[in-house]
Structure 1
Amino acid sequence: MSTDRTVITLCGSLRFRDAFERLAADLTLAGHEVLVPTLLPAGAEPDAEERARLGEAHLRRIESADEVLVVDVGGYVGDSTRREVEHARSRGIRVRFLEPPTEGDLVDG
């Protein structure tokens, strides 16, 4: 077994939970290590402190990655995802988007 693998952190709105789960499985089966945001049970509503802890944990996942894949179904990129993309880029981590970029998207450039 090769020890050479790519660590990919998925970022995006958790309203696309199905896409996260599908991508995580597909990428893992392709031989990558995949890091995903914490997926809370349906209906769970974290308070402000819990949201902050979840956000910090995800930033650490981004810092551990070789690249970030933005799960931007339909081109949707919210404020939290924009911050995560900026965080990745500030650390020199490659950022890719699931959907083809359109004018105004946060694309590498």
Structure 2
Amino acid sequence: MVGKYKVITLCGSTKFKDAFMEAQKRLTLEGNIVISVGMFGHSGDDEVWTEGTKAMLDDMHKRKIDMADEIYVINVGGYIGESTKSEISYAQRTGKAVRFLEE
């Protein structure tokens, strides 16, 4: 499996931390380079946020999408929030493939 690796950026609500971690592990073992979120704001990491943190993280995640071949959406129970909708739209506009945990 050594060779060219697809780069996948995970997107989705950070309230699904366990699903993020499971997808990261599975996709990595399938031979992909996986880029994930830097923190889980909806899972307890939001206590370190200051004014402007969300805007910075949202912009940073778009740069992670820029580096990827595709995005993988963590949409547990079909849930897709506003930030994730924006990321999906951005990925589509920039020609990235979009896959979903749940169809």
TM > 0.5 between the two?
yes
Seen in structure 2, the aligned counterparts of structure 1 residues 3 and 12 have a Cα distance that, compared at 3 Å, is same
Which 4+ stretches in 1 moved above 3 angstroms?
Answer: none
> Is 2:85 the partner of 1:82?
yes
The sequence identity of aligned pairs, in percent, is 42
SS at match of 2:52: helix
> Which residue is equivalent to 2:4?
4
Moved more, 40-49 or 56-65: 40-49
SS at match of 1:99: coil
Greater share of helix residues, 1 or 2?
2
> Which residue is equivalent to 1:68?
71
Q: What residue identity is the alignment partner of 2:36? A: V
SS at match of 1:9: strand
Quick one: distance in 2 between partners of 1:48 and 1:79?
19
> Which residue is equivalent to 1:56?
59
TM-score in terms of structure 1 length: 0.84
> Which residue is equivalent to 1:104?
none
Q: What is the alpha-carbon root mean square deviation over aligned residues?
A: 1.5
Greater share of strand residues, 1 or 2?
2
Q: CA deviation at 1:48?
A: 3.5
Q: CA deviation at 1:43?
A: 4.6
Gaps of 5+ in 1: 101-109
Q: What residue identity is the alignment partner of 2:46? A: A
Q: What residue identity is the alignment partner of 1:36? A: S
Gaps of 5+ in 2: none
TM-score in terms of structure 2 length: 0.89
> Which residue is equivalent to 2:13?
13
Q: What residue identity is the alignment partner of 1:88? A: A
Whether contact under 8 Å (2:39, 2:45) holds in the other structure is no
